[in-house]
Amino acid sequence: WPAFADDIDAILALKRERNAVILAHNYQTPEIFHCVADIVGDSLALARKTMTVDAEVIVVAGVHFMAETAKLLNPDKTVLIPDPAAGCSLADSITAEDVRLMRQRYPSAPVITYVNTSAAVKAESDICCTSGNALAVVKSLNATRVIMLPDEYLARYIAAQTKVEIIAWKGRCEVHERFSAADTRELREAHPGVTVLAHPECPPEVVAEADFAGSTAAMSDYVGRHKPARVVLMTECSMSDNVAVDHPDVDFVRPCNLCPHMKRITLANIRSALEENRHIVTIDQRVAERARWAVERMLFV
């Protein structure tokens, strides 16, 4: 990719100079994901792998909650986010005060918080989860009912797989909520034999129409294991572009919805983050201690 060569060369040199690593979520564009990232994956893999990082600086090519999670797990390292305005509609759907009110309303139910939340919300939780481990986290609590915040659709997806009563919130991913069951049926008609994979942040009727539902890493693994002749990933646009690089023999049908927050991260702002040491992620110490506990607890499930 000649258009990107100058930024890629500069970023690779800056990483060496600054003893830095770049974490990239599966929704980052291919030139970031394949050319400059050191660690890639879903939210769970990024959290797990960030704990093994032996570098002074961590640049998070992802959204703000991912950068906060990296900072929680690496309090002594410098964590940079190239654009601090890279938010998330799920993280914006709930506040710490909302969680406290839910606890008052259901005092005996433990609170499970999706990692797509602010550190302040995590600090009010008993344990975090991702789309990759949510069911295991519910089971680990041995409770008859739990509060699962803030993604209503993820909560409904998990509720369908357990007898545990799940009390949900009303948050939605602005990207995945746009997929419909009609989209899925039209794709099957237009592309006979296509295998449909959906992220659990999609509406339940989309998940019901899919052949498989799972986190971004689970979808990627599915393609590697089953090698479908033709596949569609009901998720963010860059996911198919990134997975397709490793599977030239699989035909990817690519309708997609773009995450405007993920797309705020570019090679240019990764380069200036490393050149100018910005934007440094900070978390209030008392909030960080409680939020770290909820994230670490999830990593031991």
Q: 204-243: which residues touch ligand SF4 (CB under 6 A)?
A: 236
Tokens of residue 49, six digits: 């792998």
Residue 257 marked as a ligand binder? no
- H-type alpha helices, the chain: 5-18, 30-35, 43-50, 64-73, 96-105, 119-122, 134-140, 152-159, 181-190, 204-209, 216-226, 237-246, 267-276, 285-299
Residue 277 marked as a ligand binder? no
292 interacts with ligand SF4 by CB under 6 A: no
Q: Could you tell me how many helices (H) and strands (E) the chain has, helices first?
A: 14, 12
Question: In this structure, what DSSP letter does residue 39 have?
Answer: E
Distance between CA atoms of residues 150 and 203, nearest Å: 14
Q: Find the binder of ligand SF4 among 175, 217, 233, 265 (CB under 6 A).
A: 175
Instruction: Using alpha carbons, list the distances in angstroms from residue 292 to 98, 128, 203, 285.
Output: 20, 10, 30, 10
166 interacts with ligand SF4 by CB under 6 A: no
Residue 116 marked as a ligand binder? yes
Residue 26 marked as a ligand binder? no
- Whether the CB-CB separation of 132 and 43 falls below 8 Å is answered with yes
- Whether the CB-CB separation of 4 and 267 falls below 8 Å is answered with yes
Residue 9 CB, nearest distance to ligand 13P (Å)? 29
Distance from the Cα of residue 151 to its chain's centroid: 12
The count of chain residues that interact with ligand SF4, using the rule CB under 6 A, is 13
279 interacts with ligand SF4 by CB under 6 A: no
- Residue 240 interface partner, choices ligand 13P, ligand SF4, none, CB cut-off 5-8 Å depending on type: none
Residue 200 marked as a ligand binder? yes
- Crossing angle between the packed helical segments 43-50 and 64-73, to the nearest 10 degrees: 30
174 interacts with ligand SF4 by CB under 6 A: yes
116 interacts with ligand SF4 by CB under 6 A: yes
CB nearer ligand 13P, residue 109 or residue 223: 223
Question: Which residues are at the interface with ligand 13P (CB under 6 A)?
Answer: 26, 42-43, 116, 130-132, 173, 199, 201, 215-216
184 interacts with ligand SF4 by CB under 6 A: no
Known binding residues for iminosuccinate: 25, 43, 114-116, 131, 199-201, 216
Residues in contact with ligand SF4 by CB under 6 A are: 63, 88-90, 116, 173-175, 201, 236, 259, 261-262
